[in-house]
Chains A and B, each alone.
Chain A
């Protein structure tokens, strides 16, 4: 495609703006996290810290008092606990969602049964319902089931919210997969479920990996539902804990930024590792 120099310049400007827009907050977060509270508050602003320090990270990981960290009290171990909670919830939700969605996608994509089209439409239809609409009912159900402030409660909610999209994505993959390998497996002595487990699932592995990453990233970043359904460190994920570092009168920005940076690392690694698979899946080529 031939484009004029003017168009090329516009494109370049757009790309630079998008990069600044995406990378800027992360860079700002990192520089803030290695600054002192005094430096952050200084005017004119120090964009690059004059004396970088890992004090905020130490406070997060080892605990601090309000006095040592400018009004923000960090309980030792809370942050690691919240990160662990986030990981357990995200991985648990991804694992359960994949079990449910892979089977559902296979059934919808392969088996002939009445109303299969209707079931799929209903499933996809739930994607347009915002979670806020059902939040009061959801809270009631979770409270009645004694699942408030439990990791398994959050996992169940996320399985429910994530499985429609996961099923839809995997369904498109099942539809594109050739039938013959599983038919060969049936002839080779498999029952249908054996063919599913031994031949279909391995064939779907790239799609399953991509969907797993999408679910983990999405659940890791969830805020509203855990805020509503958790009260203690028993199930509180890192997204909710971070907000508690915002003090009523003062906020220790280096600690807030350090928490943000650390919380960003696991999903960033996952996204980098599975980048190609995720973009491939979303582009429909997986």
Chain B
């Protein structure tokens, strides 16, 4: 099974002038797991619902397997969808829930039974086929929803925050399960979530949306290492990247960023690897600093006040402000658990200056 999901300049206007999705173009390739991620209200669910046919498209075109489906009703799109709250048919047994779509397609009974049994075995639901949804746990319900989608053998899979209603531990388990099932059936999958961890761990590629506009589309590594703007940089990664309003100074030792009394000299090749950087010398710039790039051996030292410490056992999350700065930015740092910091005192930490990100102070675009 292979196919594609293509969105071409898809736009959705809601009554009252709200633009939920603005000129969105992307393609889910055969067998690919593409995650649409963004904060609440960014238009990701609306985009998915347009692909499903549950929401009308204002302009643009949607194709599934190169077939234009923009104006087709959901039943004619050859898709299956998994919903956040499972959307199971409460009055039907697990077997009938899974068989419903096949019955609607008037498939022979023996084939329906074969497909349902096969999917149930794949999802560990074989013993639950005669139960009603209310007799199942959250995780089991989610599996039934997956099973209902799988048995259809659709051209494309759509998933709308399917793990949001599960507890943290089960969510991690189900992530692996969904990926395993998707790999096995190899249908293109468009997966919507607001959880960047889910996006990074599950997606072959990740599309980040903000205010209905696609910000960046790339592999998890690309969007993490080379965010196109400050929004993507802050959204991807946990804890979030520190974004600091700083001044780019040119001194005897080359370029350096200065903020709230702290000064970080940049490596000699910084200007050559980022051509836009030199011309900003002497002006404002937004500097991005990932929490894990603190405390690197050989990094540039800065003095900080330790505002708060959180021990996660495996590591230490420290909230720091530049030493002596009353209105300095609050910096988040992920440090080795052996780091000797004391809450309320001043300390010297190092920053890996080769790993700094730079964004335009006004537009937020990456430099």
| A contact set with B: CB distance below 8 Å | 178, 180-181, 183-191, 194, 198-199, 202-203, 205
Contact = CB atoms under 8 A, between A and B. Distances in A.
Contacts of B86: 180
A186 B74 contact: yes
Given A181-B89, A181-B90, A183-B54, A189 B83 contact: no
B100 A188 contact: yes
Contacts of A203: 90-91
B89 A199 contact: yes
Which 9 residue pairs across A and B have the least CB separation, nearest first? Answer: A189-B104, A180-B87, A188-B101, A202-B91, A184-B87, A186-B74, A187-B74, A180-B83, A189-B75
B91 A205 contact: yes
A186 B73 contact: yes
Given A178-B85, A181-B90, A203-B90, A187 B79 contact: yes
A185 B85 contact: no
Interface of B: 52-54, 73-75, 77, 79-81, 83-91, 100-101, 104-105, 148, 152
Contacts of A190: 75, 104
Contact of B80 (A181, A185, A187, A194): A187
B81 A187 contact: yes
A207 to B, nearest CB: 13
Contact of A185 (B77, B79, B89): B89
A181 B152 CA distance: 17
A179 to B, nearest CB: 9
27 contacts: A178-B85, A180-B84, A180-B86, A183-B52, A183-B74, A183-B81, A183-B83, A184-B83, A184-B87, A184-B148, A186-B54, A186-B73, A186-B74, A186-B75, A187-B52, A187-B54, A187-B74, A187-B80, A188-B75, A188-B100, A188-B101, A188-B104, A191-B73, A198-B100, A202-B89, A202-B91, A203-B90
Contacts of A191: 73, 75
A254 to B, nearest CB: 48
B45 to A, nearest CB: 12
Given A178-B87, A181-B89, A187-B80, 20 more contacts: A180-B83, A181-B88, A183-B52, A183-B81, A183-B83, A184-B83, A184-B89, A185-B100, A186-B53, A186-B73, A187-B52, A187-B54, A188-B75, A188-B100, A188-B152, A189-B75, A189-B104, A189-B105, A191-B73, A202-B91
B73 to A, nearest CB: 7
Nearest to B100: A188
Given A186-B75, A187-B74, A190-B75, A180 B85 contact: yes
A202 B79 CA distance: 24
A219 to B, nearest CB: 28
Contacts of B81: 183-184, 187
A199 B89 CA distance: 7
A257 B198 CA distance: 72
Contacts of B77: 187
A180 B152 CA distance: 18
User: Max chain A CB contacts within 10 Å: which of B84, B87, B91, B148?
Assistant: B87
A94 B230 CA distance: 62
Nearest to B104: A189
Given A187-B81, A188-B101, A181 B75 contact: no
Nearest to B133: A181
A23 B85 CA distance: 46
User: Max chain B CB contacts within 10 Å: which of A189, A194, A205?
Assistant: A189
Contacts of B54: 183, 186-187
Contact of B101 (A178, A180, A189, A205): A189
B87 A183 contact: yes
A102 to B, nearest CB: 15
Contacts of A185: 89, 100
Nearest to B15: A112
Contacts of A183: 52, 54, 74, 81, 83, 87
Nearest to B52: A187
Nearest to A194: B104
A203 B90 CA distance: 7
Contacts of B85: 178, 180
Nearest to B158: A187
B75 A187 contact: yes
A205 B77 CA distance: 30
A198 B80 CA distance: 18
Nearest to A189: B104
A185 to B, nearest CB: 7
Nearest to A184: B87
A274 B100 CA distance: 30
Nearest to B54: A183
A184 B82 CA distance: 8
A180 B159 CA distance: 13
Contacts of A202: 89-91
A203 to B, nearest CB: 6
A181 B148 CA distance: 12
A199 B87 CA distance: 11
Contacts of A188: 75, 100-101, 104, 148, 152
Contacts of A178: 85, 87
User: Max chain A CB contacts within 10 Å: which of B53, B83, B84, B86?
Assistant: B83
B241 to A, nearest CB: 35
